Amino acid sequence: MSYCILPDCLNEARSGGDYCDAHRKRLQRGQPVAPPLRVARSAWTVLTDAALAYSDVDDEQGYGRAADRLRKAAESYARRRGK
Ligand SMILES: [Zn+2]
Q: DSSP string of the chain?
A: --B-SSTT--SBPPTTSSS-HHHHHHHHHT--S-S-S--SS-HHHHHHHHHHHHHH--SHHHHHHHHHHHHHHHHHHHHHHT-
Same domain, 74 and 54: yes
**73 and 52 in a common domain:** yes
Residues 77 and 45 in one domain: yes
- Asked if 64 and 47 sit in the same domain, the reply is yes
Domain of residue 12: give its range. Answer: 1-35
| pLDDT for the residue 67 | 94
Mean pLDDT, the chain, whole residue set: 84
Residue 37 has pLDDT above 70, yes or no: no
- 9 alpha carbon – ligand 1 mean position (Å): 5
For ligand 1, the distance from its centroid to the CA atom of residue 33, given in whole angstroms, is 8
Same-domain status, 20 and 52: no
Report how far ligand 1's centroid is from the alpha carbon of 5 (Å).
7
Least confident of 8-12, 48-52, 78-82: 78-82
Q: Are residues 75 and 46 in the same domain?
A: yes
How many independent structural domains does the chain possess?
Answer: 2
Most confident region among 6-15, 40-49, 52-61, 62-71 by mean pLDDT:
62-71
Same domain membership, residue 48 and residue 27: no
Calculate how far, in angstroms, residue 4's C-alpha sits from the geometric centre of ligand 1. Answer: 5
User: Are 12 and 2 within 8 A, CB to CB?
Assistant: yes
Q: pTM of the predicted model, to two decimals?
A: 0.49
